[in-house]
């Protein structure tokens, strides 16, 4: 079930809401067409509008769907949603079902990349290719959480309360930790803070608690084409091995954007869009 709504204070794109088992999912859809489909999600606290420049570069050649994951942006999570690998993968497939999309390329980033990988494992015929940004192995991500995420956020209930109370401070501190010194931190931060001011979610504790309980399932038979883009200037990942995911997806191609940080898809949207379109057209 989908309902449309008009732009509010933080919106620049027309969006709709899809009701799923994971909650009410806010999404942008460039429209039904015979073009190949690309599905992407922002890496919270980024919201759909952070992706607008990338979307504009893509939508003349592909159908673009961009949605906020449950608990981020304006996607309100169901109380039963625990950010597990299977719930995340099922959500992706549910959104595709709601929009009548048989198959698509998934362009997901950071922890969201694990949900995309699991969706490709579960329904390989529906995921034509993967474009993952700043997604290391889940083991490496667990280590990253231990270094970067304040320990109280890992404690159930305590973490959720702390995230809500200090959400603006967490967002304010995150972007300088994720972006190179040369980046325009304020443009990222102000859009995220504006969204929070108008009711956006930031369930950071929920997703880190959910994924620290998880281990990636075997993917020995998964042959989905995959490109992994790594931002080499990400201060938060200075000790993370950008090749760590290759043990799970050994056929993947790894490309490093040395001049950007945690969000190569939106920091270098022109370069990223060219790579993504090349991949989509190759496997469409």
Q: pLDDT means per 10 residues in the chain (284 residues)?
A: 43 87 97 94 97 96 98 96 97 97 98 98 97 97 97 97 97 97 93 96 97 92 95 96 95 96 97 98 92
> Counting every residue, how long is the chain?
284
- Within 13 Å and on the Cβ side, how many CA atoms surround 148? 24
Go through the domains of the chain in sequence order and give each one's CATH number: 2-283 (3.40.50.1820)
pLDDT of residue 9: 44
pLDDT of residue 5: 42
Query: Tokens for 279?
Result: 């991949």
Phi-psi region of 31 (alpha: psi -120 to 50; beta: other; left: phi over 0): left
Query: Tokens for 275?
Result: 């790579």
H-helix or E-strand spanning residue 118: helix 112-122
pLDDT of residue 188: 96
Task: Classify residue 155 by its DSSP letter.
Answer: S
| C-beta of residue 38 within 8 angstroms of C-beta of residue 107 | yes
| Maximum Cα–Cα distance across the chain | 48
**Long-range contacts from 212-215, C-beta under 8 angstroms, 24+ separation:** 212/142, 212/145, 212/154, 213/84, 214/84, 214/85, 214/114, 214/138, 215/138
Query: Tokens for 41?
Result: 């999600």
Query: Tokens for 153?
Result: 């956020």
Write the DSSP assignment of 214-279 as a string of letters: --PPP-TT----EEEEEETT-GGGTTS-TTGGGGTSTT-EEEEETT--S-HHHHTHHHHHHHHHHH
């Amino acid at each position: 079930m989908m309902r449309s709504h008009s732009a509010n204070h933080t919106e620049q794109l027309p969006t709709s809401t899809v009701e799923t088992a994971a909650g009410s999912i806010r999404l942008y859809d460039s429209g039904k067409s015979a073009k190949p489909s690309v599905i992407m999600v922002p890496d919270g606290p980024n919201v759909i509008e952070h992706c607008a420049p990338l979307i504009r570069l893509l939508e003349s050649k592909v159908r673009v769907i961009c949605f906020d994951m449950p608990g981020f942006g304006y996607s309100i999570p169901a109380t039963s949603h625990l950010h597990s690998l299977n719930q995340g993968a099922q959500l992706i497939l549910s959104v595709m079902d709601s929009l009548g999309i048989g198959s698509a390329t998934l362009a997901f980033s950071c922890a969201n990349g694990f949900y995309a990988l699991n969706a490709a494992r579960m329904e390989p015929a529906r995921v034509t290719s993967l474009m993952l940004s700043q997604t290391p192995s889940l083991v490496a991500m667990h280590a990253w959480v231990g270094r970067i995420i304040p320990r109280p956020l890992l404690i159930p209930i305590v973490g959720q309360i702390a995230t809500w109370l200090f959400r603006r401070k967490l967002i304010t501190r995150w972007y300088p930790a994720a972006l190179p010194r040369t980046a325009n931190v304020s443009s990222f931060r102000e859009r995220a803070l504006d969204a929070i001011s108008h009711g956006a979610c930031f369930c950071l504790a929920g997703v880190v608690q959910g994924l620290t309980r998880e281990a990636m399932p075997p993917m020995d038979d998964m042959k989905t084409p995959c490109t992994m883009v790594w931002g080499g200037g990400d201060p938060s990942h200075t000790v993370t091995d950008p090749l760590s995911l290759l043990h799970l997806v050994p056929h993947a191609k790894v490309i490093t954007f040395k001049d950007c940080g945690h969000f190569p898809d939106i920091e270098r949207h022109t370069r990223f869009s060219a790579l993504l379109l090349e991949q989509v057209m190759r496997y469409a």
